[in-house]
Amino acid sequence: MSEHIGGRFWPDLSRARSTAWCGVIYLAAAAAAYLVGRSLVGATPLARAAAGDLAATLVVFLGSLLFDNSSIYDPYWSVAPLPIAAYWTVLALQGGAGLSLREILVLLLVTAWAVRLTYNWLRRFRGVRQEDWRYADFRRSGRPLYWLVSLLGFHLFPTVLVFLGCLSLYGVLTAGPGALHLLDAAALVVTFLAIWIEARSDRELRHFLANGPLEGEILESGLWAHSRHPNYFGEVLFWWGLYLFALAAHPAFWWAIVGPLAISLLFVLVSVPMMERHLTSRHPGYGELQEGRSPFLPWFDRTGS
């Protein structure tokens, strides 16, 4: 995270008030999603959810403009799947069959993932004067049309990726009741493991930073001893776990693979390289310190240390 000149219209807004304003923005986004989705009479559940998701994103973008801070959008990644899943769950319940054990398991896992990740954001949030270093760096580079890039790249693009990931939820929640089988067991293990990896790696990183690391020191213990970005790996693994649940619900939902595949490409081709460049710029010896350690997939240190 880094500070920037954003939030200049709200120079004295405290962390508590900043959080409250974020809550207001997201409530407005939820209302917009509901109204837009409800207005599309006759549209498919996928189309209505997508339109509501788009409307909510635009409202959050307006909040980013209001506070001159693109990080207003940051919790959207973990917040959006819950109302989307809730909408498809209501449709499933209207069928009169109730929820299957598979559907209950998936909803519990998604809720656990969303609550933990959103809480992790809330713990790090310091107010509207704080903006993620990715946005701040882009802003400082003096590139023109910053807010157009923010709308398309920092807001709409992640929204599309998360919605694609949620297609697995659509498969599970609309497939109807079905008996559990071995693929469900594999999906449960993968999804639970993904949430645990994310939680454990975030906790290790938080503990490392809280203890005041020395200049140039990097985290090399726990899960971070086997991957340079285990939190990213856990996030990607989560979406693959949901996809396995969709396949278990019905093989016809194989096409939902577009979600975890797109999210995997985002982290492997964009997020990891961007973070590597950022860490190298802050710690000139970062490359040497990380030699032999997997950049993404957890693996044994190839140096043998």
Q: Which tens digits make up the pLDDT trace of 109-129?
A: 999 999 999 999 999 888 888
- Residue in the structure block whose two tokens are 């990740």: 117
Mean pLDDT of 159-169: 98
Is 60 exceeded by the pLDDT of residue 146?
Answer: yes
Q: Would you state the pLDDT for residue 305?
A: 44
Instruction: List, in sequence order, every residue forming a beta bridge with 186; answer none if it has no partner.
Output: none
Q: Would you state the pLDDT for residue 134?
A: 85
Q: How far apart are CA 197 and CA 42, in angstroms?
A: 41
Q: Check residues 28 and 128 and name the one with the higher pLDDT.
A: 28
Q: Would you state the pLDDT for residue 2?
A: 41
Is 50 exceeded by the pLDDT of residue 304?
Answer: no
Choice among 72-76, 88-92, 128-132 with the minimum mean pLDDT: 128-132
Confidence at 282, pLDDT banded by 50, 70, 90: confident
Sequence-ordered alpha helix ranges (H) in 175-267: 182-210, 230-249, 258-266
Mean pLDDT of 159-168: 98
Q: Would you state the pLDDT for residue 303?
A: 47
Is 70 exceeded by the pLDDT of residue 142?
Answer: no
Instruction: List, in sequence order, every residue forming a beta bridge with 131; answer none if it has no partner.
Output: 2
Q: Would you state the pLDDT for residue 159?
A: 98
Is 50 exceeded by the pLDDT of residue 66?
Answer: yes
Mean pLDDT of 183-212: 93
Is 60 exceeded by the pLDDT of residue 69?
Answer: yes
Judge residue 75's burial from the number of C-beta atoms within 10 Å of its C-beta, 0-12 exposed, 13-18 middle, 19 or more buried: buried
Instruction: Quote the mean pLDDT of the chain.
Output: 88
Q: How far apart are CA 183 and CA 186, in angstroms?
A: 5
Q: How far apart are CA 150 and CA 167, in angstroms?
A: 25
